[in-house]
C-alpha cells in the first residue's frame, strides 16, 4: 500500500519526500512558505549578484546551461531582459528528439552565443545500458552530464557564474537544508544530482571503462574550480518559479510544443528533448509508484489549477503507461543503441518493479493489461 500526501498526490515512496504529522509532504509545505518570501528583496539580491559578475564585454557575464526546454528558454529570456550577455551551454541529451533540436535552434535565435557538448555516443550507450540494468536509470549519464559539463565550460571559458533554473529539491520534495540551499555544491550533486548510487569511479573499477572516456562526467579539479571561482545559483530561489508560466513565456518566444500530450505525461510543453525520457520516467513508476503525470499534477494542485480529485483521475488514466513510444519513436528503436530487445527490456522492468505496490494474481505474478500496463493497488489513501 502506498501512502499519499493529503494535499497533493505524491506517494511517500518518493526518495527524500516526507509526510508530516498532518500527512502533508515537504514539497507542499515548501510551496506554502512561498507566501512568506520577500520576493522583492530576493530580486534585489539577484540583481546585486549579476551586477558583480558583469564582465562589460571582456568576457561572457554568465553561463546558462540550456536543454532547449521551456525552463531554459525562460532563463535565457530573463537574462537577456536584465541586459546580460550569457554563454549558453548544452550538454546534449542521450537521444535528442527532432522537436528538441527545433527548440535549441529557437533558443539560439533569441540572440545568444551558444556551445554544444556531445559526449562520445559509444561510451554513452554503454552507460545507458549499465544505468538501466544496474540501477534502473537509463538517464544516468545525462543527469550527471547536465551538472558536470556546464561546470567544465565555466572553467574552460573562465566564466565563473552559472545560472541554473529551479532547485529540484524545492518543489519536488527533499530535505529542508537542501531546499534552502540556493548555491549548487559538490555535496548537493553527490547527494541529489542524479548519481543514484552509481559513482563515476565504479564505472572504471567494475565495468572497465577507461577514465579517459569519463571526463565529461567528472568535475574539474578543486584547484581549477578555485582558480575560476565557479559559483552556481538557482534562479528559482530569486524569482518565483512556475513551469506553466515559463512555458507560456517560452511559447510566446518561438518555443514549440508537442503535437499532443506527451506519452505518460499530462501536458505537451515539457520533456520534449529526449526519446529515452519515457523509459526513465517509467522506471520511477516501477520503483516508486509515481511518474511524470504525478509530478505535473502535483505542481498544478499546489497552485490551485486542478483539484486533488482531478489529479487522482489524471494519474489513473495517464501515469506509468508502458513506454511503447516516446515522442512518437518506437521502443525497439530507442533500445537499439543499448543493444537490447523489447523482451530483454521487459525482464529488466520486472526486476526493478516494487511488487508490493502493484496488483498481482493469486500466484503472485504481476497483473498486466494487454498493453503491458500495471495497476497500482491504491491511488488514494483509502
Ligand atoms: Zn504534497
Per-residue pLDDT of the chain (382 residues; tens, 9 = 90+): 899 999 999 999 998 899 999 999 999 998 998 889 999 999 999 999 999 999 999 999 999 999 989 999 999 999 999 999 999 999 999 999 999 999 999 999 999 999 999 999 999 999 999 999 999 999 989 988 888 899 999 999 999 999 989 876 655 544 444 444 555 555 555 555 545 567 777 888 888 899 899 899 888 888 888 889 888 888 998 999 999 999 999 999 999 999 999 999 999 999 999 999 999 999 999 999 999 999 999 999 999 999 999 999 999 999 999 999 999 999 999 999 999 999 999 999 999 999 999 999 999 999 999 999 999 999 999 7
H helical segments located in 161-241: 168-172, 176-180, 186-192, 200-205, 222-228
Distance 238 CA to ligand 1 centre (A): 23
Q: Residue 29: how many CA atoms within 13 Å on its side-chain side?
A: 18
Q: Cα of 24 to ligand 1 centre, how many Å?
A: 5
CA of 376 to the centre of ligand 1 (A): 19
The C-alpha atoms of residue 351 and residue 234 are separated, in whole angstroms, by 36
| Ligand 1 midpoint to CA 283 (Å) | 21
Q: What is the DSSP letter of 379?
A: S
In angstroms, what is the C-alpha Rg of the chain?
A: 21
Instruction: Tell me the CA–centroid distance for residue 184 and ligand 1, in Å.
Output: 25
CA 375 to CA 357: how far, in whole Å?
A: 9
Span from the CA of 363 to the centroid of ligand 1 (angstroms): 35
Å from CA of 237 to ligand 1 middle: 20
Q: How far away, in angstroms, is 2 Cα from ligand 1 center?
A: 14
Q: How far is the CA of 43 from the centre of ligand 1 (A)?
A: 27
Please give the backbone phi and psi of residue 78, each rounded to the nearest 5 degrees, phi first.
Answer: -60, -45
Give the helix, strand, coil percentages of the chain, each rounded to 5. Answer: 50, 10, 40
207 Cα: distance to centroid of ligand 1 (angstroms): 39
Task: Give residue 161 CA to ligand 1 midpoint distance, Å.
Answer: 33
CB neighbourhood size of 343 (10 A): 7
Measured in Å, residue 353 CA sits from the centre of ligand 1 at: 24
pTM greater than 0.75 (yes/no): yes
Contacts of 249 (CB under 8 A, 6+ apart): 73, 74, 77
6 Cα to the center of ligand 1, angstroms: 7
State the Cα angle at 137 between 4 and 216, rounded to 5°.
Answer: 130
Amino acid at each position: 500500500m502506498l501512502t499519499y500526501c493529503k494535499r497533493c498526490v505524491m506517494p511517500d515512496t518518493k526518495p527524500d519526500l516526507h509526510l508530516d504529522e498532518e500527512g502533508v509532504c515537504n514539497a507542499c509545505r515548501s510551496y506554502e512558505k512561498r507566501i512568506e518570501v520577500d520576493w522583492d528583496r530576493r530580486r534585489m539580491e539577484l540583481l546585486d549578484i549579476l551586477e558583480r559578475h558583469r564582465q562589460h564585454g571582456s568576457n561572457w557575464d554568465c553561463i546558462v546551461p540550456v536543454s532547449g526546454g521551456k525552463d531554459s528558454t525562460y532563463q535565457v529570456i530573463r537574462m537577456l531582459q536584465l541586459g546580460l550577455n550569457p554563454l549558453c551551454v548544452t550538454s546534449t541529451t542521450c537521444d535528442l528528439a527532432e522537436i528538441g533540436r527545433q527548440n535549441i535552434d529557437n533558443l539560439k535565435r533569441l540572440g545568444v552565443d551558444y556551445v554544444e557538448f556531445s559526449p562520445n555516443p559509444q561510451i554513452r550507450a554503454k552507460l545507458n545500458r549499465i544505468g538501466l540494468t544496474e540501477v534502473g536509470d537509463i538517464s544516468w549519464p545525462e543527469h550527471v552530464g547536465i551538472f558536470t559539463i556546464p561546470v567544465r565550460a565555466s572553467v574552460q571559458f573562465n566564466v565563473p557564474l552559472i545560472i541554473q533554473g529551479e532547485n529540484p529539491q524545492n518543489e519536488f520534495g527533499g530535505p529542508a537544508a537542501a531546499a534552502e540551499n540556493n548555491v549548487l555544491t559538490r555535496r548537493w550533486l553527490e547527494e541529489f544530482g542524479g548519481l543514484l548510487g552509481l559513482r563515476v569511479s565504479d564505472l572504471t573499477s567494475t565495468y572497465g571503462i577507461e577514465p579517459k572516456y569519463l571526463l565529461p562526467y567528472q568535475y574539474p579539479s578543486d584547484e581549477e574550480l578555485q582558480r575560476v571561482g565557479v559559483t552556481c545559483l538557482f534562479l528559482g530561489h530569486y524569482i518565483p518559479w512556475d513551469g506553466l508560466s515559463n512555458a507560456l513565456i517560452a511559447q510566446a518566444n518561438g518555443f514549440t510544443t508537442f503535437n499532443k500530450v506527451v506519452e505518460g505525461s499530462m501536458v505537451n510543453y515539457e520533456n520534449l528533448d529526449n526519446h529515452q525520457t519515457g523509459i526513465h520516467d517509467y522506471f520511477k513508476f516501477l520503483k516508486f509508484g509515481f511518474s511524470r503525470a504525478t509530478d505535473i499534477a502535483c505542481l498544478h494542485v499546489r497552485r490551485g489549477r486542478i483539484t486533488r480529485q482531478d489529479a487522482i483521475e489524471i494519474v489513473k488514466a495517464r501515469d506509468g503507461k508502458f513506454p511503447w513510444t516516446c515522442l512518437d519513436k518506437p521502443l525497439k528503436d530507442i533500445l537499439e543503441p543499448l543493444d537490447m530487445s523489447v523482451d530483454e527490456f521487459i525482464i529488466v522492468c520486472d526486476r526493478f518493479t516494487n511488487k508490493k505496490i502493484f496488483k498481482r494474481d493469486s500466484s503472485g505474478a504481476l497483473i498486466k493489461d494487454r498493453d503491458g500496463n500495471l495497476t497500482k493497488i491504491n491511488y488514494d489513501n483509502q
